[in-house]
Amino acid sequence: MDHLMPGITARRVPTARVTTHVLEAGEPDGTPVVFVHGNVSSALFWQPSMLALPAGYRAVAPDLRGFGSTDRAPVDATRGLRDFSDDLGALLDALGLPAAHLVGWSMGGGVVLQHLLDAPGRVASLTLVNPVSPFGFGGTKGPHGELCAPDGAGSGGGAGNPDFVARLAAGDTGDDSPLSPRRVLLAQYVKEGCVPEPLEAMVHSMLTTATGDDHYPGTSAPSGNWPGFAPGDRGVLNAMAPTHFRITADDLAALDPKPPVLWVRGADDVIVSDTSMHDLAHLGSLGIVPGWPGEDACPPQPMVTQTRTVLDGYAKAGGRYTETVIEDSGHGPQLDRPEEFRAALLAHLAAAVAV
């Protein structure tokens, strides 16, 4: 396969749900660490992190359905992120891994959090890297994720930028527009000014995203609430809508066992933030999206605060979590600050293995 770094192998693994394309590195009998990518990307984004694991570990990175070279199975958004989570469980079964350390980035953070909720005994530890809020992306307010409107208006498939979607579908590798995949990667996935390697593999990875109603961005429904649309029931962005995906502190408090959690985030993330440039409410507050109904009705979603609130509840119920903030880093600290990310991850894994 093109775009593989030395030391990485690839194969397609049949499972009970989909045939999943998987990257692997390290020792076949080593302690398994499973890396789950985010939206509009694939396992290729994890290659440097996989190779950075020391001896004794086995790195596994699947492409989620509709990304990379995994089956283009449709996403049922009414299940939230469970299509992806269940696919992950089926892959662990197929690989004969009863338990693993899970690392999830962005949307992948929501996938592994959902998997923890559904199968806590299979999660040796959890690492969340700039994860989507446990209350979904868009359409909520306050630390406990109250819906701004009952229908989740402002979130889901209608929030996808049609020009960006069209450029993905066309395989655009250029840099002539701020909405080209390459420019989005360099300005938003990482801290602007950083050029992560292998860059061309990552641009290629973004272009493997399946587009359309069943994939990215998904369907949309009309709404009488600002900004005029609500989540649909199909596709990737709807799977993260707050009407479909929601994990509370009470949900995590009920888990047994409670594996240790590492939350790593870049201090300068513009995607998952309390002032996210992808949150229509925040853009409305800046006057970029017209008609914003105001702070009381639809304030910017406090995404980081919401994650901290849920993890604080986990800790109060007997769980353990560590928050690590990496300075001068964007949405992908594993890409723009790989040494700091590696240090945090390895310390977390070592502590979890020692327990």
Segments of the chain with pLDDT less than 70: 1, 354-355
CATH of domain 9-148+240-354: 3.40.50.1820
* pLDDT number for residue 1: 53
Q: Tens digits of per-residue pLDDT, 110-134?
A: 999 999 999 999 999 999 999 999 9
Is the distance from CB of 34 to CB of 58 less than 8 angstroms? no
Q: Tens digits of per-residue pLDDT, 160-172?
A: 999 999 999 999 9
* pLDDT number for residue 353: 77
Is the distance from CB of 242 to CB of 280 less than 8 angstroms? no
Helix (H) or strand (E) holding 183: helix 181-184
Distance CA 318, CA 320 (A): 7
Q: In terms of DSSP bridges, do strands 321-326 and 261-266 run parallel, antiparallel, or are they unpaired?
A: parallel
Helix (H) or strand (E) holding 26: strand 19-26
Spell 20-40 as b/e; 16+ CB within 10 A means b: bbbbbbbeeeebbbbbbbbbb
* pLDDT number for residue 355: 66
* pLDDT number for residue 2: 78
CB-count exposure of residue 199 (10 Å: 0-12, 13-18, 19+): middle
